[in-house]
Amino acid sequence: MSEQEFKRALGYANSAFDLLKRSGIPPYPQFYELLYTYATGVNPTLNDRINAIFRAGQSPTLDLAETLYNEFLKSDVNDRISHVSERMHARIEAVHDAIDSAMTTANAYSGSLQAASGDLDREITGPAMKTLADRLLAETRRMQDTNRALEMQLEASRDDIASLQRDLDDVRRESLLDPLTKIANRKSFDEGLAAAMADASTNGNPLCLLLLDIDYFKNFNDTYGHQTGDQVLRLVAMTLKSNIKSKDLAARYGGEEFVAILPSTDLEGAMIVAENIRKAIAAKELMKRSTNEKLGRITASFGVAVFHPSDTASSLIERTDRCLYAAKHAGRNRVVSEIDLAAIRAA
């Protein structure tokens, strides 16, 4: 973790503890997570709800904190997986029952055939032969009915299992998306970066990381409101995603920060990508949808670093983060690479 990222996280933590203390809410992990998330601003709907509570002068209580946590942060992924598991268990039990029934019928049919074989070894009369034939025909029909039921059960199970697989795929896909911007979330980014670094190490292909931060976003958010702030976040996410290749990965890193993994891209190419995104963001004029009021333009600052064989995910992110903060300190709305950073330090 870079020094800048540590300071950001510490600021969020201090804000969360201050809110817990002022509200008289016990600092249990779930309530700390609730107010830490509020401090980061990554869940706009949660922030709107809490802000409305503050504006109404309502005193936050333990019960209210529990309600908000269950509504906004308690993951339903486990519940959905549990539901899928229960359906899978019920389907497997039904198949087992059908197989058991088929085996019981098959054993009875086998016993009837053995008995018939014994009868045929002896001389039997015509009426006895007819009785034996009728019995075997009835047993055969019963076996056919059982087999048809088993086939139907297996067919239904196949369809249900395919549906369950789709449900599991949906759960996993949702767990990897940022709910506001609909691009990859931090978890998806972490997995994608690990895979990209492993591929670059194995194949020797270049790999770059791009980190961007929206300039003065807090002031913009405070001036025009969270709904407009959400519009800005979605706009930046869309612009980032539309200006990278399909094999690249765009993700929301946290708050107003976004990141892009650029495999098979060298530092020079990554700088061009970052500059194109910077210009595309700066070229877009914001309007308040409800009034068509022009709100001006937004800008973003960028840091770009290239993967080295000795890098870990943390060291690569930290170096990219240092480049981003150098861009901020140099006046914002610019791109700084690790080569630029070295030149700044040498100056």
What DSSP assignment string belongs to 141-165? Answer: HHHHHHHHHHHHHHHHHHHHHHHHH
Q: 58 exposed, middle or buried (CB, 10 Å; 0-12, 13-18, 19+)?
A: exposed
Q: How far is CA 60 from the centre of its chain?
A: 30
Are 216 and 270 in contact, with CB atoms under 8 Å apart?
no
**What phi-psi label fits residue 89: left (phi over 0), alpha (psi between -120 and 50 degrees) or beta?**
alpha
Dist. CA 193–CA 265, nearest whole Å: 14
| Per annotation, catalytic residue among 5, 151, 191, 256 | 256
Q: Say what the alpha-carbon torsion angle 10, 16, 20, 21 is, to the nearest 10 degrees.
A: 40
Q: In 80-225, at which residue ranges do the beta strands (DSSP E only) sit?
A: 207-214
Note if 139 is an active site residue. Answer: no
Residues 6+ apart with CB under 8 A from 228: 220, 221, 286, 288, 295
Q: Say what the alpha-carbon torsion angle 52, 43, 241, 78 is, to the nearest 10 degrees.
A: -140
Dist. CA 247–CA 208, nearest whole Å: 13
Structure-block tokens of residue 296: 């001006």
Amino acid at 326: A
Are 322 and 303 in contact, with CB atoms under 8 Å apart?
yes
Q: Which residues are catalytic?
A: 256
